Structure 1
Amino acid sequence: MDLQQIKYFLAVVDNGTFLAASKQVHVTQPTLSAGIRKLEQSLGVTLFNRGSRSATLTAEGEQFLKPARQSYNQLVLVRSKLRKQPEKIVIGVLSNIHMDHVARIISSYRSIHPHILIELVVDADAALSRMLAEKKVDLIIVNSDTQADNFQPIIRESLCIVVPGGHPWANERLIELKSLDGERFIERIRCGFWEPVNQQFQQQQIQPLTVMQAESDEFVLSLVAANLGVSIITDRTTPYDVRFIEIKDLSIDRSIGVCMPNTDVLPHVEAFYRAVLDKRD
């Protein structure tokens, strides 16, 4: 039994088929199958029920899975420490994406690959797209307005009206856009959502009383919490005392997702990509 054989075993478990597993670890299917057979021979048991479309764990395979994953992660961690060069994924993150979304995307991978070092690089979309093309980052987390190719949506975002916790609307579940007419309003500028929102204001002849403008979601939320006005922003978890209210007559959606190159992808980066796609909304 060796580390590579355990890696093959875990790849089959995580991907469900020998073919998909071989692609993840970048070997041919016969090579992976031979590695699994050697592992089974060394253990003296059959680990997988081999079907035409999938590979499922036998009772012995189920028993082997937890210690195999723990041992693999520990051995990779030790190897990384000895080499002083841990396996790493460099992820570019769009500057205006809320970190709740980033944490959610990463956590689905982190729970089963704790030994991988993850570095986050925050920048604008154009810069991230360029870094991805130049292979300065392994993948990027951006929204559906991105210039980069191969975008795969993970999390759907919807716009809400955000009000202070003590606002008369705070307990409302739904509200019409026209309610903002004449209301003190904090405008989120330089945001992909703002142009279609402004078009809706013009079409419905709605004129909020814009009292402040801010370039970041965090600034907007802090200003709303201070009772300086209301705003339109995507729903999220926040420490600020604000309430998010669904807009009855405004349907502008956007997705948060990932982009990855088509070629020369490292196995642990490919594993990250597959893990987050499996957890998409």
Structure 2
Amino acid sequence: MDIRQLEYFLAVVDHEGFNRAASALYVSQPSLSQAVRVLERDLGTELFHRVGRRAVLTEAGRALIEPARKAVRSLEVARASVAAVHELREGRLDVASMPSQAVEPLTSLIRSFTERYPGVAVAVKAVFTARDVIDAVRTGAVELGLLASASAAPDREVRAHVLGVQRFVLVAAPEGPFAGRRVVGCEELAGQRLIVGQPGTGMRAYVDSLRAQGIDFAVAVETEHRVALLPLVLAGVGLAVVTESWREIARQAGAVVLDIEPATALHVSLISRRGVLSPAAAAFWAAAVPSSR
């Protein structure tokens, strides 16, 4: 077993097939398949069921994912540590972020980081729930994560630092029902048509809590695509409850942004795995968390 075989195995998992994995790795599909078969012979078990052109993980394959990610990540840390003598003039940093927090504060964090380390590429992985961010960091799929949750991120599984809070706001079309207003009471959402996120997200949990309080609204659209929120609002499809990270971009797009009273906010946290970080991840953390310097 060698690290290249594990990288090939993870590529098949992440790209859901041998052909797409080979394309992503810029290797031939037969070479990739051969490497995985050698790995299977070394382990004495099949990692995938080959069903036509599909590759379906076996139980053994599922069990290998987390150890393989840790092994590959450890090698990346070793390689990056060597590159650190060059003052991070090159490299890559993987960050997982929930959509609203990718608007802000991730934009400001990346701007500050890339100004200092322009040779380090930042790859942002989109995830939709706080649990998914924690799992991505814990298993080594990424080194850092940015999430929002009703309470501080649990520090049993990962290292966490609260960067601040983001309150919920209402985004509406300029000719909508709250034109000329700056504040709206949550009870005034009764009878309105709302655009909501999928279950498990912070914005969905908040609007569900409103319904639990007896505030009866209609769901106009349920969407996983946050980029669709502003176009839908401006098209008059409905109102959207989002975090205030959207405030400026929504106003620039021509929407009306109102504070919702009483104020309800989410904790925004930067998280990392426990243990030694790569130089790029450590530098990003230090820039975001001044007390860690």
Query: TM-score, normalized by length of structure 1?
Result: 0.60
> Which structure shows the bigger proportion of residues in helix conformation?
2
Q: Secondary structure at the match of 1:241?
A: coil
**Partners of 1:89 and 1:138 within 8 A in 2:** yes
Shift of 1:140: 1.6
Alpha-carbon RMSD: 2.8
Query: Are the equivalent residues in 2 in contact too, given 1:91–1:140 (CA < 8 A)?
Result: yes
Indicate whether 1:212 and 2:255 are aligned: no
Mapping of residues 1-281 of structure 1, within 5 Å: 76=86, 86-95=90-99, 97-124=101-128, 125-144=130-149, 149-190=158-199, 191-203=201-213, 205-235=214-244, 236=246, 237-238=249-250, 240-249=253-262, 251-278=263-290
Deviating more after overlay: 126-135 vs 226-235: 126-135
Query: Which residue type is aligned with residue 277 of structure 1?
Result: V
Summarize the Cα distance change of 1:103–1:165 in structure 2 as closer, same or farther, 3 Å threshold.
same
Q: How far apart, CA to CA, are the structure 2 residues paired with 1:159 and 1:216?
A: 18
Q: Per-residue displacement from partner, 1:98-125 (whole Å, max 9, x unpaired)? A: 4343211212222222232222223355
- Alignment check: 8 A CA contact 2:95 2:146 kept: yes
1:189-213, Cα deviation, whole Å (9 max, x unpaired) = 322232343333332x322233333
Structure 2: which amino acid aligns with 1:88? R
Contact 1:186 1:210 in 2 (8 A): yes
Task: Determine the C-alpha separation between the residues in 1 that align with 2:148 and 2:229.
Answer: 19
1:154 deviates by 1.8
2 CA distance for matches of 1:175 and 1:252? Answer: 13
**Contact (CA 8 Å) 1:143, 1:257: kept in 2 or not?**
yes
Structure 1 pair 182–127 and aligned structure 2 pair: CA distance change class (3 A): closer
Q: Supply the distance in 1 between the matched residues of 2:289 and 2:235 (Cα, whole angstroms).
A: 38
In the alignment, the residues of structure 2 paired with residue 113 and residue 156 of structure 1 have an alpha-carbon distance, to the nearest angstrom, of 27
Residues 181 and 257 of structure 1: is their aligned pair in 2 closer, same or farther, counting only changes over 3 Å?
same
Cα deviation, 1:148-186, whole Å, max 9, x if unaligned, reads 522212242111121102224232111111222222333
When residues 201 and 109 of structure 1 are mapped into structure 2, their CA distance, relative to the original with a 3 A threshold, is same
Q: Aligned partner of 1:193: which letter?
A: M
Higher-Rg structure is 1
- TM-score, length-scaled by structure 2: 0.58
The answer to whether the Cα contact below 8 Å between 1:154 and 1:258 also exists between their aligned partners in 2 is: yes
* Counterpart residue identity of residue 206, structure 1: I
Distance 1:271 1:164, change over 3 A: same
Give per-residue Cα distances to partners, 1:213-250, cap 9 Å, x unaligned: 3233322322111012223222212453311100122x
Matched residue pairs, number? 197
Alpha-carbon spacing, 1:126–1:168, altered in 2? closer, same or farther (3 Å):
closer
Local SS of the residue matching 1:274: helix
Q: Which runs of 5+ in 1 are unaligned?
A: 1-74, 81-85
Secondary structure of residue in 1 paired with 2:105 = helix
Query: Given the superposition, is the C-alpha separation of residues 257 and 105 from structure 1 closer, same or farther in structure 2, using an over 3 Å criterion?
Result: farther
Q: Tell me if the contact between 1:106 and 1:276 (Cα under 8 Å) persists in the aligned partners.
A: no
Provide the C-alpha distance between the structure 2 equivalents of 1:158 and 1:103, rounded to a whole number of angstroms.
18
Identical aligned pairs, as a percentage? 15
Any gaps of 5 or more consecutive residues in structure 2?
1-84
